[in-house]
Structure 1
């Protein structure tokens, strides 16, 4: 599953602009008073102003063997969120390693190195090594209903989990992380989960608003 653009909402577009441009050193591709967009490999991450914006979780794929380099790079710029006192989370059943941190809106951002993709890089890790948006968190009170709606738009295999509290649907290039708003908190910091609105463009084109999916 490919994500061309992920549009998130922000209470402070200017703070997000400063964070992604100056801290993460990501390239701005569109900029206005009410919105800003950044290049993330073949994906675009956009932020649009909304007074009542709530945090979300999303992930970016990085080269498959640069998790340690990415950690060193991140630690010079942000505070990495640890899990069990470790800065790199080893997802053995996914054959992947991940790092987590907050952006200026306290969205939980993840860099994930997926070994199964076997994407190599000979040059040092930097923002231009980000590959794509590969996970989008969706909070809901009924995982199966949301999954069925997504699957009606386009065939969407279950990657991991079930319809009780956590379900990852898609593939290693793009996953929807479906979580039950009453049973699950965001990993790894146990942050509260909100029914956070967003829009996505790519293999799937829809708006998630007030817990409902509207095809674009």
Structure 2
């Protein structure tokens, strides 16, 4: 599943611009008073101003062999969100390893190296190593209903999980992470999952506003 662009919402454009441009060293590709956008490999990460916002979860694919390099690079810039004593989390059933951190709005961000993609790199890790946006979280009270709405736009397989608590849908290139916010909290911080809003463009084009999916052209 290709994710060309994700738009998240923020009530502090300047703070997010500082974080992504100067801390993560992402290339700024659009800059206005109420919207900014950054190059994220084959994807674009955008932020649109909105007064009332809730934190979200988003992940970036990185080269399959660069998780240790990504950790060293991130540790010079942000505080890593551990799972117990583990700074690198090994998802054995996904054949992937991941690192988590907050951005300036306390969105839970993730760098994930998926072995099954076989996308290796010979150069030292940097912001230019980010391959694409690979996950967007959707917190809901009805996973099956959200899945059915996405599947009605375009057929999408269940990657892992079920409709009761947690369900990842899509593939290694791109996933919707659907969670039942009454039964599960965000990993790895175990904090409350809010129904946060976003707009996605790519293989799927829709807005998720007020807990509802609306297809866009």
Q: Structure 1-normalised TM-score?
A: 0.99
**RMSD across aligned C-alpha pairs, in angstroms?**
0.5
**Deviation for aligned residue 1:181:** 1.4
Alignment: residue pair count: 216
Please give the alpha-carbon distance, in whole angstroms, between the structure 1 residues aligned to 2:18 and 2:98.
Answer: 24
**Structure 1 partner of 2:177:** 177
List gaps (5 residues or longer) in structure 2. Answer: none
In structure 1, distance between residues paired with 2:6 and 2:99: 20
Counterpart CA distance in 2 for 1:173 and 1:13 is 28
- Structure 1 spans left out of the alignment, 5+ residues: none
The separation in 2 between residues aligned to 1:9 and 1:141, in whole angstroms, is 21
Secondary structure at the residue paired with 1:196? coil
Structure 1 residue 126, shift from structure 2 partner: 0.3
* Equivalent residue number for residue 31 of structure 1: 31
SS in 2 for 1:68: helix
**What does residue range 119-138 of structure 1 map to in structure 2 within 5 Å?**
119-138=119-138
1: CA distance, partners of 2:82 / 2:47: 26
* Equivalent residue, structure 1, for 2:94: 94
Q: CA deviation at 1:11?
A: 1.4
Match of 1:196 in 2: 196
Q: Secondary structure at the match of 2:80?
A: coil
Q: Which residue of 2 aligns with 1:108?
A: 108
1:20 aligns with 2:45: no
Q: Which runs of 4+ in 1 moved over 2 A?
A: none
Displacement of 1:47: 0.4
- 2: CA distance, partners of 1:136 / 1:143: 14
